[in-house]
Structure 1
Amino acid sequence: MSAPWTTTLAAVAEQLNGQRIEWMLLGSAATALRGAAIVPGDIDIALREAGDVARAATVLPTPVVPSHVESDEPPDWISTAAEPTLHFGHGDERWTFGRWFIDGVKVELAYIDAPAVAALMLEARSPLVWQEREMLKCQGHAIPTVPIEVQLATMVARQQDSRIEATIAAVDTTRLNLPLLRRALSDEQSEVPDMTVPESLQRLLANPATAAE
């Protein structure tokens, strides 16, 4: 029996792929899709263009908010037909954002404009990562997914040790792209100088049999 989040992911993929919207699965759902023993709290998706968030809103279920509802943004804001996107951020990082609840699963789509990190290999904010997307499958639908090496670097920066171990246990470590992993770790460290790479990853990086360079 499929987990609810996989059914929702497949439904979202069908719509985005059908509209030829360029997208990439991120976060815990991307890790779980690879078989890691974690349960995603939501589905996080990056979009290639800012306008694609509004395009997605034309095919994803967007409820209509009654006109008598106050206009102040509620903590649990969701995309609606009247207001499909939010725009927020600061000078160095601007977000175009949408949020849906589809069959009880939270789905968040975002385009992040962050010129300051354009040359870094970061999971959500850098255009470089789009060149390394992996194509996975969910219920027969193509799922463009952030590379696992970049995800591991994100986990290190966030000190998500248990998720790192669950990921290493789930993936074929002999197929890791070690140069990409080193690059992603180095780029994360430029933002988080005091981050510590756990021993499990250090062993993979030091083992010449882990993956071909």
Structure 2
Amino acid sequence: MATVAEQLNGNRIEWMLLGSAATALRGAAIVPGDIDIALLAADDVTRAATVLPTPDAPDGPELVESGVPSGWISTAVEPTLQFGHTGEQWTFGRWMIAGVKVELAHIDAPTVAALMIETRAPLVWHERETLNCHGQPIPTVPIEVQLATMIARQQDGRIDATIAAIDTTRLNVPLLRRAISDKQSEVPAMTIPESLERLLADAQTATD
């Protein structure tokens, strides 16, 4: 993470850490499978390929899964992939750095521009939190927005691990409520787990 951050920060690329790596960086007892990073502009994915360890050519066959070849990595010849549909266009890059899969993406999704949701909506960039990894500043998706994503994905174990790791008194409760509400517009059947229900109820009591 620090290696990637040093290159992106040093080259003034606007970025934001997402997913399980962001949760783990806050001290949650989870092991990330990879590092997921959002970039503010599509061109930044191509720029990243000029500063990250990008090989000249691919190594081995490719099998396409969900629009991205499973063995595909960014190369000098093909630094990015573009895929998606009318409402959601991806510019995507993937690297292997010190044995860790690092995926960078810019997602252009005008239909969710007014929503406070992780990954695809520009509003979340205004709420980034800066964490630290081996002396490198890490712009990170706000934990309140991440919690809404976890609810939508029914990741109750990850929610519990996150709540156990953070200082819940410092949560931005209005932002958390907004993030949950906006995510519900995409996943109406979301069920808020009891641990978060209690946290929201305690916050409401404190403000009454």
Give the alignment's TM-score, normalised by structure 2.
0.93
The equivalences for 1:34-113 within 5 A come to 34-65=26-57, 74-113=69-108
Q: 1:40: Cα distance to partner?
A: 0.4
The equivalences for 1:112-191 within 5 A come to 112-191=107-186
Contact 1:99 / 1:108 at 8 angstroms: preserved in 2? yes
- Unpaired stretches in structure 1, ≥5 consecutive residues: 1-8
Give the share of equivalent positions with the same residue, in percent.
75
Distance 2:137 2:205 in 1: 27
Q: 1:211: Cα distance to partner?
A: 7.6
Contact 2:173 / 2:203 at 8 angstroms: preserved in 1? no
Alignment partner, residue 3 of structure 1? none
- Deviation string 1:144-198 (CA, Å, 9 cap, x unpaired) is 0000000000000000000000000000000000000000000010000001000
Distance 1:210 1:18 in 2: 45
Distance 1:124 1:173 in 2: 23
Q: 1:121: Cα distance to partner?
A: 0.4
Q: How many residues align?
A: 204
Would the alpha carbon gap of residues 189 and 72 (structure 1) be closer, same or farther in structure 2, given more than 3 Å must change? closer
- Deviation string 1:67-119 (CA, Å, 9 cap, x unpaired) is 9x779864211000100000000000000000000010000000000000000
Q: 1:58: Cα distance to partner?
A: 0.1
Asked if residue 15 in structure 1 is aligned to residue 38 in structure 2, the reply is no
The code of the aligned residue for 2:30 comes to: I
Query: Cα RMSD between the aligned structures?
Result: 2.0
Contact 1:135 / 1:142 at 8 angstroms: preserved in 2? yes
Aligned counterpart in structure 2 of residue 30 of structure 1, from 22, 27, 42: 22
Distance 2:119 2:188 in 1: 19
Q: 1:138: Cα distance to partner?
A: 0.1
- Deviation string 1:17-60 (CA, Å, 9 cap, x unpaired) is 00000000000000000000000000000000000000000010
